[in-house]
Amino acid sequence: MPKKRDSLRYQLYRSKALRLASASTHQWYESLKQTGNEEIDLTNVRFETINAHALAAYQDWREDSHFSWDEVTGWKASEPMAFDLSIWYGNELCGLCFANPNQSRLRIKIIRLEGKPGKLHPLKSRIASLTMIAVDHYARIIGSQWIEIQEPAPGAISIYRDLGFEFDSRGRLVIAVENE
């Protein structure tokens, strides 16, 4: 059983990663505005944990969802180093992610990642990019060297490759974490 102090420490790391992801997203939006490529106001993006509010909003897309996100509550309780993420645009839940580092923290695996299925939403085709911003910040904070996509959906591999992921010699879809 993890020590309470360790759980608190990782809770602080998660909070810091979410704040940094928000700041990075705002910077990304500002750079897009400079080039005239801003299509949507990314300052309305909000990064939060998967909490009761997110799970309630998830009920609206549960029927079409690829995953059961209700399980995450139990995972969070048993995995104190895990990183869970809900991505909002205003009051609309647009994406969910659960990632977990291995015990050495050298590699963090994205276990589940899903954008709101079916209907168009304001962040359509941006969920993977926004998730990577947040997971990358968390990976840097905890000292991970790699981010891995666990069991990527075949249709999503090209999206991950566009983000810089490649298959390693063991067949894992990974990207190096560049520490500043």
What is the domain range of residue 108? 4-176
Predicted structure pTM score = 0.91
Question: What is the distance between the alpha carbons of residues 51 and 86, in angstroms, rounded to a whole number?
Answer: 8
Q: What is the pLDDT of residue 41?
A: 85
Rounded CA separation 29/165 (Å): 23
143-174 burial code (b ≥16 CB/10 A, e <16) = ebebbbbeebeeeeeebbeeeebeeeeeebbb
CA 153 – CA 117 distance, rounded (Å): 14
CA dihedral 180, 162, 142, 73 (to 10 degrees): 150
Tens of pLDDT along 54-101?
999 998 876 777 788 888 888 888 898 999 999 999 999 999 999 999
Tokens read off for 80: 């104190």
CB 108 within 8 A of CB 84: no
For residue 73, give the CATH number of its domain.
3.40.630.30
Predicted local confidence at residue 129, as pLDDT: 94
The predicted structure's pLDDT at residue 38: 67
Q: Domains in the chain: how many in total?
A: 1
Segments in the chain below pLDDT 50? 1
Residue 117: the pLDDT is 87
